[in-house]
């Protein structure tokens, strides 16, 4: 089994690309998708989930072990390596037995150090390539712990996958990218490739190209993109899966900019990405605040209360100044900021 770096050389030094359906659904769907993906530049592995972690029971939960034979057939026909998610030790055992080349530990699993430990125990000493996705919650420590647990197990090769986070305000993304956390992980583990999963960050087809380009601009080495032979019929993550043709055109439009050459500055890009992400969250929070203002406005109107309540405003500003100063924010700045917010809110309340 060749590792990620060898694959990257095969890909001519360009980004590593993993593609395939969110979930294996049938033998035909697996084979048709894999064959339609053949020849896309940089594509080195075919992904498919066999055991699907679903938020609520009763939804399609994957075909399980029987999909392994479909994947093996896809590998025989296309020469693509296989990548499968493992969520419990039994999945790792089944994948090792079936000779799956790459396994990844998903966001819902990385949150549990107990489960990661148990999986690492099964993989210990194997030659498998393992990818560790970020945990659901924005916690670089937990992600680091997952990587370290696998490093200690002495496996073939490791990589990380950035798939976004459950955040208080993730709009317009399905999962907030919080690029700064992925950047921090790249600095902590400079020897490990970082792949981006734009599908789970964006949650919708139209957002994938921009996210994928951003990941490359930030120096990430690869992409994992969900691709289905007929996305409209997909049993899981329908809105975010691309058709093989759409993937081909998306990857064809990506630009790999070289750090240093031509003045492209990855460090500056990563700071900018952090700022962009934080601003998006700020806007999302402001919009939520305005919605609440609207509700307060209606409530006051019904009770014939004036929108402006001087006592409440004085107490609010004092409280925000105190909190702001604990966060080392300048008093004058906080005063001006909340005056603007308050004015906007009064306007909403009519």
Q: Which residues of the chain form contacts with ligand PEP (CB under 6 A)?
A: 22, 49, 53, 85, 106-108, 133, 163, 200
Closer by beta carbon to ligand PEP, 192 or else 234: 234
**Beta carbon of residue 111, minimum distance to Mn ion (angstroms, whole number):** 17
- Interface with Mn ion in residues 263-292 (CB under 5 A): none
**Two tokens, residue 87:** 């969520």
Nearer to Mn ion, 25 or 237 (CB): 237
Nearer to ligand PEP, 161 or 334 (CB): 161
Residue 171 CA to residue 293 CA, distance in Å, equals 19
Sorted by sequence, the CB contacts under 8 Å of residue 10 that are 6+ apart come out as: 2, 44
Q: Which residue is nearest to ligand PEP (CB)?
A: 106
Q: What is the dihedral of CA 153, 81, 230, 166, to 10 degrees?
A: 20
Residue 201 is a binding residue for Mn ion (CB under 5 A): no
Residue 174 tokens read as 């399905």
Degrees (nearest 5) of the Cα angle 233, 236, 238?
55
Give 180 or 237: the residue with its C-beta nearer to Mn ion.
237
**Hunting for tokens 């399609």 — which residue is that?**
60
Distances (CA, A) of 322 to 19, 20, 99, 231, 318: 50, 51, 59, 51, 6
- 217 forms part of the interface with Mn ion (CB under 5 A): no
* Least distance CB 327 / Mn ion (angstroms): 37
133 contact, one of ligand PEP, Mn ion, none, CB 5-8 Å limit per kind: ligand PEP
Residues 6+ apart with CB under 8 A from 232: 238
Contact track, Mn ion, 233-262, x by CB under 5 A: ----x-------------------------
Shortest distance, CB of residue 123 to ligand PEP, whole angstroms?
Answer: 17
Distance of closest approach, residue 146 Cβ to ligand PEP, in angstroms: 12
Q: What angle do CA 116, 117, 123 make, to 5 degrees?
A: 85
Please check whether residue 252 is in contact with residue 48, taking contact to mean a CB–CB distance below 8 angstroms.
no
- The site partner of 248 among Mn ion, ligand PEP, none (C-beta below 5 to 8 Å per kind) is none
> What whole-number distance in Å separates Cα of residue 162 and Cα of residue 195?
6
69-108 positions binding Mn ion, by CB under 5 A: none
Q: Name the residue nearer to ligand PEP (CB basis): 49 or 222.
A: 49
Tokens describing residue 117? 């430990």
Total H helices, total E strands in the chain: 14, 8
CB of 323 to ligand PEP, least distance (A): 34
C-alpha to C-alpha distance for 155 and 140, rounded to whole angstroms = 22
User: In angstroms, what is the minimal distance from the CB of 298 to Mn ion?
Assistant: 40
Output the CA–CA distances (angstroms, integers) from residue 93 to 74, 81, 124, 135, in the order listed: 20, 18, 11, 22
> Nearer Cβ to ligand PEP, position 221 or 240?
240
CB atoms within 10 A of CB 301: 12
Report residue 22 as tokens: 């969110």
Nearer CB in complex with ligand PEP: 39/53: 53
Q: How far is the CB of 178 from Mn ion (least distance, A)?
A: 19
From Mn ion, ligand PEP, none, interface partner of 228 (C-beta below 5 to 8 A by class): none
Of 106 and 146, nearer to ligand PEP (C-beta) is: 106
22 binds Mn ion (CB under 5 A): yes
Closer Cβ to Mn ion, 64 or 350, answer by number: 64
Nearest distance from C-beta of residue 235 to ligand PEP, angstroms = 12
**How many chain residues bind Mn ion (CB under 5 A)?**
2
SS3 167: coil
For Mn ion, the binding residues (CB under 5 A) are 22, 237
């Amino acid at each position: 089994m060749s590792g990620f770096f060898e694959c990257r050389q095969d890909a001519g030094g360009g980004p590593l690309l993993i593609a395939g359906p969110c979930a294996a659904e049938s033998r035909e769907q697996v084979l048709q998708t894999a064959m339609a993906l053949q020849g896309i530049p940089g594509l080195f592995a075919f992904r498919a989930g066999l055991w699907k972690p679903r938020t609520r029971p009763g939804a399609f939960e994957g075909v399980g072990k029987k999909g392994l034979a479909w994947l093996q057939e896809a590998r025989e026909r296309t020469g693509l390596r296989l990548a499968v998610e493992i969520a419990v030790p039994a999945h790792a055992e089944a994948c090792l037995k079936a000779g799956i080349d790459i396994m990844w530990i998903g966001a819902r699993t990385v949150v549990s150090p107990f489960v990661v430990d148990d999986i690492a125990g099964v993989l210990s000493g194997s030659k498998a390539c393992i990818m560790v996705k970020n945990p659901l919650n924005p916690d670089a420590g937990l992600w680091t712990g997952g990587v370290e647990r696998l490093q200690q197990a002495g496996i073939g090769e490791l990589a990380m996958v950035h798939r976004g986070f459950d955040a208080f305000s993730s709009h317009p993304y399905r999962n907030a990218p919080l690029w700064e956390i992925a950047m921090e992980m790249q600095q902590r583990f400079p020897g490990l490739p970082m792949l981006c999963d734009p599908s789970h960050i964006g949650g919708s087809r139209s957002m994938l190209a921009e996210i994928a380009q951003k990941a490359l601009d930030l120096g990430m080495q690869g992409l994992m993109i969900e691709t289905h032979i007929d996305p409209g019929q997909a049993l899981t993550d329908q809105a975010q899966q691309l058709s093989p043709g759409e993937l081909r055109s998306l990857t064809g439009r990506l630009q790999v900019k070289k750090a240093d050459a031509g003045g492209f500055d990855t460090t500056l890009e990563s700071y900018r990405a952090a700022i962009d992400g934080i601003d998006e969250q700020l806007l999302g929070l402001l919009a939520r605040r305005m919605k609440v203002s609207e509700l307060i406005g209606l409530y006051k109107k019904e009770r014939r209360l004036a929108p402006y309540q001087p006592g409440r405003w004085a107490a609010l500003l004092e409280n925000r100044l105190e909190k702001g100063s604990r966060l080392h924010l300048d008093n004058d700045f906080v005063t001006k900021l909340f005056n603007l917010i308050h004015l906007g809110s009064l306007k909403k309340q009519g």
